[in-house]
Amino acid sequence: MKQRIITGVCMAAVFIPIVIFSEYIVYPIAVSLLCVMAMFELFRVIGMLRCLPLSIPAFVFGAFFPLYAFFVSDEAEYLKNVLAAVFVYLLYAFAVAVFMRGKINFSSVSAAVISVLYLTVSFTAMSALRYADGGEYYVYLIFISAWVCDIFAYFTGRLFGRHKLIVEISPKKTVEGALGGIVFVAGAFALYGFIVGRIYSLVPNYPVLVAAGVVAAVISQIGDLIASLIKREHEVKDYSNIFPGHGGVMDRFDSVLAVAPVVFAGTQLTGYISFFI
């Protein structure tokens, strides 16, 4: 526990300033680096790291698009380019499955494709949100939802947990812990809305913020369980040991990966909902 706390503090000391000064290119560079590291970890776990025709293009793909968001001013054009690139990689990967038949099976290629799409979309959303309208304050919602949920679900579960959530995937998680995470994230979103409203002279839409917090907390926990499911199916404890006590990028950012696209999508639906009036 002591090592975990020390590592967590060191990670926060490095990452929080990067987010605070995210108007500079250092932020998308950091996100691109995290994407490549997460992709390396996941490819290693699913046994596709040595399939160079798939892994090398995947790393290039994962590094490019989070960084590309920094240089694009037209969000619609950017998203069209991402969608086109996703289709090209999808077609290319299945072509690899065809021409390497006998050396690699379709299910392995499919796992690699899903991994690439999941990680690239998630980290790209993390980067693109920062440079969208209101991104200077919306980007923090990604990390608030993921890390507040993680922390308070853990402590709520330790204090009040009685009923197991999904034993087959994560034996220590409880229903009470999950509900605690949801409640605290909803409260954190409302509090953050109040703070942002004061700083930027905006009027927080508290019902929307609380509802968004509930949704984000649920998605955050699903992201955690997805990463746990992959580890359990491949019989590994951690994706890597790059962060002592925390594991790898996939271990530390598992919730963030699921939350980032959802928060990005929510902040773009200004014609239907608005976090601030």
d(CA 183, CA 14): 28
pTM of the model: 0.90
Residues 137-187 pLDDT 10s: 999 999 999 989 989 999 999 899 888 998 888 888 999 999 999 999 999
More confident residue, 15 or 44: 44
Residues 10-39 pLDDT 10s: 767 777 888 888 888 999 999 999 999 999
Work out the mean pLDDT of the chain and round it to a whole number: 88
Sign of CA dihedral 146, 42, 261, 15: positive
Q: What is the pLDDT of residue 237?
A: 87
Residue 1 pLDDT more than 60? no
Q: What is the pLDDT of residue 33?
A: 94
For the chain, what's the residue count? 277
Closest CA to 150 of 35, 246, 275: 246
- Which H or E run contains 173? strand 170-174
Residues 65-108 pLDDT 10s: 899 888 887 767 777 888 888 888 889 998 988 988 778 888 88
d(CA 225, CA 218): 11
Burial class (CB in 10 A: 0-12, 13-18, 19+), 238: middle
Q: What is the pLDDT of residue 217?
A: 96
d(CA 145, CA 138): 11
CA distance to 55, 94, 162, 186, 214, per residue, from 42 (Å): 11, 19, 32, 31, 28
Q: What is the pLDDT of residue 152?
A: 92
Residues 214-234 pLDDT 10s: 999 999 999 999 999 999 999
d(CA 203, CA 144): 20
Beta-bridged to residue 104, according to DSSP, are 101
